[in-house]
Amino acid sequence: MDATALKAMQAPLKEAYRDDASRALITLRAKGSIDDQSIACKVETGRALAVAGLHPATGGSGLELCSGDMLLEALVACAGVTLKAVATALEFKLGAATVAAEGDLDFRGTLGVAREPVGFRAIRLNFGLDTDEPQERIDALLKLTERYCVVFQTINQKPELTVSARR
């Protein structure tokens, strides 16, 4: 897809959202069920069933997916798609590209053995770009990718969170 095709595809959406902001608001959903045989949650992905379990550092077998890994995978997926869309829109000359994310966790808080914060202490997102573009264009590409990546911005800006239960 080139910049013209991307802009043509997105133009009616942008116009509709400018005319009626409520049309841009959607609710994404994820569902899962708690496994009754092990400490795991079966997450419906829309394509397959992903089974998440405890990380080995918290006593898990390592056979199930780790939700921390899934968070980083979602970041990589979103950042990769966003980078490609931005590069296309900017007519940025991009050959092969890679995306990697890594995050540092201290499981003492998760296991309740110390008052360490629960969650990632740091996350690093890195792109490998095959390009001859000048550094200022690379900087613009990264800035716009960061700005428009939904997962990155969600992590960065902490959304309003609520927790509830029903019977």
CA 41 – CA 31 distance, rounded (Å): 10
Nearest by Cα to 1 from 95, 91, 82: 91
Q: Write the burial class of residue 77 (CB in 10 Å: 0-12 exposed, 13-18 middle, 19+ buried).
A: middle
For β-strands 97-105 and 49-53, DSSP reports them as: unpaired
Q: Where are the beta strands (DSSP E) in the chain?
A: 31-34, 40-44, 49-53, 97-105, 120-129
- The pLDDT assigned to 70 comes to 92
The first and second tokens of residue 118, run together, are: 């629960």
- The pLDDT assigned to 50 comes to 87
Helix or strand or coil: residue 39?
coil
- CATH superfamily to which 66-167 belongs: K homology (KH) domain (3.30.300.20)
Over the chain (167 residues), the average pLDDT of each successive run of 10 is 90 90 83 79 82 90 90 94 94 93 90 88 93 97 97 95 95
Using only the alpha carbons of the chain, give its radius of gyration: 19
- The pLDDT assigned to 31 comes to 82
Domain with CATH 3.30.300.20 in the chain: 66-167
- The pLDDT assigned to 156 comes to 95
- The pLDDT assigned to 35 comes to 77
